């Protein structure tokens, strides 16, 4: 879904029980929620460049492109296939791969799993 700048801030402020972060256009990442929280956010300068949130089962990615913000909501994320990466300030982030079964013409039209996207799946480690 697409949203304008006012709508995206309102949308973020409705999130409850999420962990995540917001990357602003004019500053290093400082808006981080490492435990499930009610997200409250009011930008002082710049605009939201990118944001990711996770509530234990649903992942939300927000990206700014030109004059709109795209929101990608992925429901019921499986945490079976996750990777952990070092991030800022000794935080570790979890990313989950989302696979979907599709018939593949190159495999005699047999159903095969194909990677659809990689989504934010929260934080891991001691700082969580």
pTM for this model (two decimals): 0.88
pLDDT at position 16 over 60:
yes
Per-residue pLDDT tens digits for 81-110: 899 999 877 899 999 999 999 999 999 999
pLDDT attached to residue 73 = 98
Task: List Cβ neighbours of 86 (8 Å cut-off, separation of 6 or more).
Answer: 92
Q: Which two tokens stand for residue 5?
A: 């700048």
CB-based burial, 29-54: b 16+ in 10 Å, e otherwise:
bebebeebeebeeebeeeebbebbbb
């Amino acid at each position: 879904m697409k949203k304008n700048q006012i709508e995206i801030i309102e949308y973020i402020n409705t999130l409850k029980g999420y962990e995540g972060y917001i990357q602003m256009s004019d500053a290093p990442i400082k808006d981080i929620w490492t435990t499930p929280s009610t997200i409250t956010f009011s930008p002082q300068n710049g605009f939201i460049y990118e944001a990711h949130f996770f509530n234990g089962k649903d992942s939300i990615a927000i990206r700014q492109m030109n004059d709109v913000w795209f929101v990608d909501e992925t429901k019921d994320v499986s945490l079976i296939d996750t990777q952990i990466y070092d991030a800022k300030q000794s935080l570790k982030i979890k990313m989950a791969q989302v696979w979907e079964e599709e018939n593949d013409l190159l495999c005699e039209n047999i159903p095969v799993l194909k990677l659809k996207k990689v989504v934010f799946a929260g934080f891991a480690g001691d700082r969580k």
